[in-house]
Amino acid sequence: MFIAKKNNAPADAATLLNSLRVPARLHSSEVAGMLGFQDHDIPVLVVARLLIPLGKPVANAPKYFALVDVLAAGQDREWLAQATRVLTKYWRDKNSRKRTAGAEGVDPGET
């Protein structure tokens, strides 16, 4: 049976955090909920090598992460600060490209 992927709702994160036994292998949306990030931030952190997926998944495969690594990252203040800086820079650069393309009269979706 296939289970549809759900959005990372606060109730889902709370359910995961309140469970008696958290699974050792977490999906990217579960990692986002545990670390306090959004689902769309996880691929950025993977590209920046701040989160390392288990195995060697291909680019379009679902990514799973080790619970021990996620818990260690969540308790490391320097890691959290670095992840926040990486995400801030990513979104600042992306929004800047969008504004620049819009100012030139080019559709930002065209590349």
pLDDT tens digits, one per residue of 89-104? 999 999 998 888 777 6
Count structural domains, the chain: 1
**Is 87 part of a structural domain of the chain?**
yes
- Is the predicted pLDDT of residue 3 greater than 60, yes or no? no
**Is 1 part of a structural domain of the chain?**
no
**Is 111 part of a structural domain of the chain?**
no
pTM above 0.85, yes or no: no
- The burial of 24, by beta-carbon neighbours within 10 Å (0-12 exposed, 13-18 middle, 19 or more buried), is given as exposed
- Is the predicted pLDDT of residue 60 greater than 80, yes or no? yes
Task: Give me the domain span that covers residue 74.
Answer: 10-103
**Is 3 part of a structural domain of the chain?**
no
The band of 11, judged by pLDDT with boundaries at 50, 70 and 90, is low
**Is 108 part of a structural domain of the chain?**
no
- Is the predicted pLDDT of residue 6 greater than 70, yes or no? no
CATH of the domain at 34: 1.10.1660
Spatial contact of 16 and 22, defined as CB atoms under 8 Å apart: yes
Q: Indicate the residue type of 108.
A: P
What are the residues whose beta carbons fall under 8 Å from the beta carbon of 108, sequence distance 6 or more? Answer: 97, 98, 101, 102
